[in-house]
């Protein structure tokens, strides 16, 4: 990993007139890199095709990195960095991609991690998402949640859903993001994007005034606390479609994760509100692919709020949700095991990758055995 590779970009070839850090961004585009890491005493490192590689170039000093990031900071960002030891920024190359930048202290020195966000927004097919996701994106009101670990592709799936709405529905989409990740050009829809810390103080303030902006669809980057989720529920209750993300490892566990945001005395009431307003939960994790079309593909667990699921949520029977999803797979719901099985069958992932990712190995093995038996029967 630490050796220089011919596939990694040589940042010294970038345009001399550009800001110094922007030259690294140009190199990311040229190398088709997803991430850039700057750390003192090392050359820049790029993530290409899921693997981190050392770029050709000299090692950077702490002063080099500090000077480059300082060029792009506002006074407010400098103050945040000085107080917190970390700050988020964003930068857009003219006519090209957008970059999310996290500057942070490690062992008393300055480092930076940069995520490249391309202008082109992938569609459902290119992301290898299950067909039910398009149907979920066509909802007109209620709450749709994307859950999963950090780096699980939630933002990209949400972007595909928003772009679908943008291309198919005459409406007003308002996004509240920290920071803005994808840039949308209005198609059938009007799209207003607000960045936390730049266009508005915080999520709570943005949600307080969102009703005055006449939205039909609201994207909330992350439902991370009581106030934000309470406001999201209120927006959904009033006839809007709300999309948001939650950190949870399974679709059924997402409900419990939301309950943890509320005091015990409020949870019965909130369960009723979730049961009434929630439309779907998509929980996903990214897996390395063997397809030539994609480096990574999502395994997706999908829970739709039909009458049975809604009743279980309202009654607090979260332990029964997984079985309910499993028994309704013909309606578009699916467990992780079903998703992993489909990805193997489509030739997108290796079985060993599925085994490593499976929450229930026995269930996956049984499903794969069933496919093998079915194929043997067809051959016979």
Answer whether 307's CB lies under 8 Å from 331's CB.
no
pLDDT at 121: 92
Quick one: tokens of 106?
Answer: 């490690």
Q: For 124-375, CATH number?
A: 3.40.50.300
pLDDT at 98: 86
Classify residue 112 by its DSSP letter: E
Classify residue 171 by its DSSP letter: S
pLDDT at 14: 46
pLDDT at 12: 47
Q: What is the pLDDT along the chain (380 residues), one digit of tens a residue?
A: 444 453 444 554 444 455 789 999 999 999 999 899 999 999 999 998 778 999 988 999 999 999 999 999 999 899 999 999 999 888 889 888 889 899 999 999 999 999 888 778 999 999 999 999 999 999 999 999 999 998 899 999 999 999 999 999 999 999 999 878 888 999 999 999 998 877 898 999 999 999 999 999 999 989 989 999 999 999 999 999 999 999 999 999 999 999 999 999 999 999 999 999 999 999 999 999 999 888 899 999 999 999 999 999 999 999 999 999 999 988 999 999 999 999 999 999 999 999 999 999 999 999 998 755 555 554 54
Q: Is 376 helix (H, G, I), strand (E, B) or coil?
A: helix
Distance between CA 79 and CA 268 in Å, rounded?
42
Q: For 11-117, CATH number?
A: 3.30.450.90
What residue has token string 């829970």? 303
* Domain definitions of the chain by residue range: 11-117, 124-375
Distance between CA 358 and CA 336 in Å, rounded?
7
Q: Which residues pair with 356 in a beta bridge?
A: none
Q: What is the DSSP string of 57-103?
A: SPPBPHHHHHHHHHHH--HHHHHHHHHHSEEEEEEE-TTS-EEEEEE
Quick one: tokens of 339?
Answer: 């998703």
Distance between CA 349 and CA 288 in Å, rounded?
7
């Amino acid at each position: 990993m630490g050796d220089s590779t011919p596939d990694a970009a040589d940042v010294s070839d970038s345009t001399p007139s550009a800001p110094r850090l922007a030259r690294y961004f140009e190199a990311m585009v040229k190398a088709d890199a997803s991430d850039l890491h700057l750390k003192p005493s090392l050359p820049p490192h790029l993530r290409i095709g899921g693997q981190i590689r050392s770029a050709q170039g000299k090692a950077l000093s702490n002063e080099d990195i500090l000077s480059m990031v300082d060029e792009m900071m506002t006074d407010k960002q400098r103050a945040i960095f000085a107080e917190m030891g970390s700050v988020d920024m964003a930068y857009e190359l003219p006519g090209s991609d957008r970059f999310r930048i996290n500057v942070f202290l490690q062992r008393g020195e300055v480092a930076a991690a940069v995520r490249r966000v391309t202008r082109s927004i992938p569609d459902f097919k290119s992301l290898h998402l299950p067909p039910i996701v398009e149907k979920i994106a066509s909802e007109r009101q209620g709450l749709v949640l994307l859950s999963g670990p950090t780096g699980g592709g939630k933002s990209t799936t949400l972007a595909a859903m928003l772009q679908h709405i943008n291309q198919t529905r005459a409406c007003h989409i308002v996004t509240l993001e920290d920071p803005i990740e994808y840039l949308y050009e209005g198609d059938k829809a009007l799209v207003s994007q607000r960045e936390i810390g730049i266009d508005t103080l915080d999520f709570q303030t943005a949600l307080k005034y969102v009703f005055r902006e006449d939205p039909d669809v609201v994207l909330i980057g992350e439902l991370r606390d009581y106030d934000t989720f309470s406001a999201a529920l209120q927006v959904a209750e009033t006839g809007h479609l709300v999309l948001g993300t939650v950190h949870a490892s399974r679709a059924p566990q997402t409900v419990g994760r939301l309950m943890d945001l509320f005091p015990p005395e409020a949870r019965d009431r909130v369960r009723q509100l979730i049961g009434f307003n929630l439309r779907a939960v998509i929980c996903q994790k990214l897996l390395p692919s063997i397809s030539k079309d994609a480096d990574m593909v999502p395994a997706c667990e999908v829970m739709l709020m039909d009458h049975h699921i809604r009743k279980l949520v309202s009654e607090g029977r979260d332990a029964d949700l997984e079985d309910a999803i499993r028994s309704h797979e013909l309606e578009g719901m699916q467990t992780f095991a079903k998703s992993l099985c489909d990805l193997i069958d489509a030739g997108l992932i290796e079985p060993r990758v599925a085994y490593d990712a499976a929450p229930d190995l026995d269930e996956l093995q049984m499903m794969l055995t069933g496919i093998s038996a079915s194929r043997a029967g067809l051959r016979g």
